[in-house]
Amino acid sequence: MVESIVDSLVTLFGTTIPKELTVFVISVLPVLELRGGLIAARLLEMNVWSAFFFCFIGNMLPIPFILLFIRKIFDWMRKWKHFGKIIAKMEKKAEKHRKTIEKYGVWGLFLLVAIPLPGTGGWTGALVAAVMDIRIRRALPTIALGVFAAGLIVGGISFGLFG
């Protein structure tokens, strides 16, 4: 699914915007994040290191804002009925990871972000950290390290560095 979304975005952007901006924008988006950006970079035949740089920066851009403001945004959104279900679903997703984070601490948060599986990544890690009241000075470097590790894994696979 992620690959088809990325392929559609690459086709949509085509050559109208620079490749670097394409992968940066894809990496900022939830669900796609750095992993989708690296797939797009491979489709665009970018240099692996340039791709990694733009994807990492793009994925990390929203993380501090999520850590700092998501709970306030949720409180504000609860004023409207139709957002209640969406917020409850997101909080339930975050709570699902609570035991792991409580058991393993920042290593649990790191693994949640670093292992490139559906439903994991920087956005999810930031949501979990915010819901669990993990301070930004602990959460942000842990999430950054996890995004970096995920990038090495996905970049290595996407660009054929492991084969």
pTM above 0.75, yes or no: yes
Per-residue pLDDT of the chain (163 residues; tens, 9 = 90+): 666 777 777 777 766 789 999 999 999 999 999 999 999 999 999 999 999 999 999 999 999 999 999 999 999 998 888 888 889 988 998 889 999 899 999 999 999 999 998 889 999 999 999 999 999 999 999 999 999 999 999 999 989 876 5
Please report how the helices 19-28 and 33-43 are oriented relative to each other, as an axis angle in degrees rounded to 10: 160
Task: Give the pLDDT of residue 143.
Answer: 98
Please report how the helices 33-43 and 122-131 are oriented relative to each other, as an axis angle in degrees rounded to 10: 170
Measured CA to CA, the distance from residue 24 to residue 34 in angstroms comes to 8
| Token code pair at residue 127 | 């949501």
CB atoms within 10 A of CB 50: 13
One-letter amino acid for residue 37 of the chain: G
Cβ-count burial 53-82 (b if 16+ within 10 Å, e if not)? ebbbebbbebbeebbeebeeebeeeeeeee
Task: Give the pLDDT of residue 15.
Answer: 63
Task: Give the pLDDT of residue 55.
Answer: 98
Task: Give the pLDDT of residue 142.
Answer: 98
| Token code pair at residue 151 | 């990038």
Task: Give the pLDDT of residue 1.
Answer: 62
Least Cα distance to 53 among 157, 150, 159, 148 occurs for 148
Task: Give the pLDDT of residue 16.
Answer: 73
Beta strand segments in 15-141, E: none
